[in-house]
Amino acid sequence: MEEFSDLDSFFNNSIKANSLKKEDKIIWNEEPLPFRKFLIDKEHMNFPDYSERQYMIPEYLFGEDPKDMFDNDKYMAVVEAGKGGGKDTISAHCGAYVVHVLLCCNNPRFMFPGIGPTDPIDFVNVAYNDKQSKIVFFEKFKNNVLNWKWLRRKYNFKMSGKLVNPDDALKLEEKVVINQTSIFFPNNIRAFSMNSQQEGWEGLNPLFWVLDEFSAFVGSNKMRNSEKILGVAESSAQTRYGQKYKGFVISYPRFKDDPIQKLRKQYEGSINVYTDRATTFEMKPEKCFSGKWFDYHGHKVPLEYKERFDKKPEDSETKYLCLPQHADDPFFKEPSEIDACIDRRTPIIITEDYEKSEGSKLYTCKRIKSANFGITKRKFCIILDLGLSNDRSAAAVWHKDRYYLPDNSFEDHYFQDYIGLWKPEESRKMVVNLDNVEDFVKDLFIKHKMPIFMVQCDRWNSANMMQHFNSKGINNEHYLLHPQDYDDARTKLYSGCVHLLDYDPQITEMKRLINDGRGGADHLPDDDEHNDMAQTTFAALKLLSSNDGGANSSGMKMNEEDGEVVKCNINNDGIIIDNTSGDFGGGLSFRH
């Protein structure tokens, strides 16, 4: 967990609850509202209304009588719902509702025999990353609290802006204290916003918890940890509250039988757990859309989503319809989109293959014949996918250019400048010479003085090579691709902003990729199938998207022949047109 700063000292004046007689322990000082009234009431959330599908979640968990909501044996809801279906809004409102019910009771702890009379009661929301937890969820929840008229009338508010650990000591106050990622309410009721990398819940007593975008959870090691986080949430709640707690798990699926789909199927038919599977458009109120619809393979979809479905069918099916692909489905359902990415430029690096014998060993090697990148302000990245005897090695060189449009917006375009393979031959016992792959990179950097800002390698056979790169001052790191990286790369390839070299083996390889069942892309299970060139493309797009990468972002375009900066001419269709061809052997035109 994060390091949090101290506030004051805690739990000074809460012992009086122990002196109450048993029959007087649970006292309601105000009638709590049912959830629907709480949601739309101007004194509370003042929200326009939910769809009936959305209402089913809180009404299942909380029931009709809020005074009995922790004794109804309904302890969890698992909802597989499309992106934009309102899950953050629902979880923020549900958290506020739990606070409302608890604050209507003088002594809520006596409803829960598993905790002590001075123990805190917590609401915990877990998002898949730090940004989602702080900016998306917590801002919604904080704004709900700040605009909560009922709460503001009852208590004073204090904005601290600090980070607070559940173990930090606080002075018990009859105030609402809003911290950086937590809110402390009177009666020692607390709300925390966390992310999936925070796997320890020490010091928390989660009566109500939300796991938001469950399928996207990864730990600090970047490995999936959805089941681990769920186990922590359930055990932390059960040991304190038995089955009186409330858990809410929601996500759209990332791939077939991913964590949300498995969990939903596990609890289907349970009398204690609510399950549902809904598209974005089934979950969200119809009034949120234009009112015009089109049919997409039997699904009713708002017309304003048509362009998105036309351009990114796999992505849209997964995110909005909850229809992830099977493991053996094609990764690119629209292979013609790969053809549209082909840019018939001449590679800026020309190599030739040769064989080398050392004793009884035979190696496949490459030598650089020319490297023509001219005078340029660009910087290049090199991606290596390394194999040795049973698999090929691939090297790709990429750069990014940024183009400003007439409305001052910009588009980033990604250019493949070289793609090469070292291919072993088992029949001849010829293997890849990894020293030669290393020399390829060093020659570009040292001999040809190519401006390389990063070399990325996969984790196989690369440790020694990376040490040698370090000794030569070549920036390098391992790359690791996650399901979202594959989704992002596919979206870019479909958008027309990726320019692949016209190399038939590469284009064929990409078209034949299949879903690997974990949200990524792999080759068919055949000895003649590969995915190494595709991997370099996915890694390059990830790197260049998260890094300036030497992109020319001044609103100009470089002329590579003489380093002169020239204005871009853009026609009425948004196509960049000019007479500068650089070393690429022809003018560039971009699809929009």
Residue 378 and residue 273 share a domain? no
Q: CB within 8 A of 93, min separation 6: which ones?
A: 39, 45, 47, 58, 144
Residue 152 and residue 133 share a domain? yes
Q: What CA–CA distance (Å, rounded) separates 62 from 77?
A: 11
Residue 295 and residue 278 share a domain? no
Residue 352 and residue 214 share a domain? no
Residue 262 and residue 133 share a domain? yes
Residue 426 and residue 555 share a domain? yes
In a domain, 1, yes or no: no
In a domain, 41, yes or no: no
Tokens at 392, concatenated: 């090929």
Residue 362 and residue 424 share a domain? yes
Q: Write down the H helix ranges in 340-471.
A: 434-442, 463-471
The CB density around residue 3, as the number of other CB atoms within 10 Å, is 6
The CATH number linked to 90 is: 3.40.50
Residue 194 and residue 83 share a domain? yes
In a domain, 37, yes or no: no
Residue 123 and residue 60 share a domain? yes
Residue 273 and residue 214 share a domain? yes
Residue 273 and residue 401 share a domain? no
Q: What CA–CA distance (Å, rounded) separates 180 from 188?
A: 18
Residue 565 and residue 426 share a domain? yes
Domain range for 297 is 289-324
In a domain, 336, yes or no: no
Q: CB within 8 A of 252, min separation 6: which ones?
A: 80, 81, 82, 83, 85, 213, 215, 260, 318, 319, 320, 322
Q: What is the dihedral of CA 447, 448, 451, 452, to 10 degrees?
A: -60
Residue that is last in its domain, among 286, 303, 334: 286
In a domain, 340, yes or no: no
Three-state DSSP state, 451: coil
Q: Which sign, positive or negative, has the C-alpha torsion 69, 112, 133, 160?
A: positive
Q: What CA–CA distance (Å, rounded) separates 525 from 529?
A: 7
In a domain, 223, yes or no: yes
Q: Is residue 200 within 8 Å of residue 183, measured between CB atoms? A: no
In a domain, 556, yes or no: yes
Q: How many domains does the chain have?
A: 3
pLDDT tens across the length of the chain (592 residues): 333 333 333 333 333 444 444 445 678 999 999 999 999 999 999 999 999 999 999 999 999 999 999 999 999 999 999 999 998 899 999 999 999 999 999 889 989 988 988 899 999 999 988 877 777 788 899 999 999 999 999 999 998 866 555 555 455 568 999 988 899 999 999 999 999 888 878 789 999 999 999 988 877 766 678 999 999 999 999 999 999 999 999 999 987 788 999 999 999 999 999 999 999 999 999 999 999 999 999 999 999 999 989 887 888 998 999 998 766 678 888 788 899 999 989 999 999 999 999 988 999 999 999 999 888 889 999 999 987 666 789 999 999 999 988 888 899 999 999 999 999 988 888 999 999 999 999 999 999 999 999 999 988 778 889 999 999 999 999 998 988 899 899 999 998 899 999 999 999 899 888 888 777 888 876 656 788 999 999 999 999 998 655 555 433 333 333 232 233 333 333 333 333 333 332 333 333 2
pLDDT tens for 495-513 read 889 999 999 999 989 988 8
User: What is the 3-state secondary structure of 273-341?
Assistant: EEEEEECHHHHCCHHHCCCCEEEECCEEEEHHHHHHHHHCHHHHHHHHHCCCCCCCCECCCCCHHHHCC
Q: What CA–CA distance (Å, rounded) separates 220 from 537?
A: 25
In a domain, 591, yes or no: no
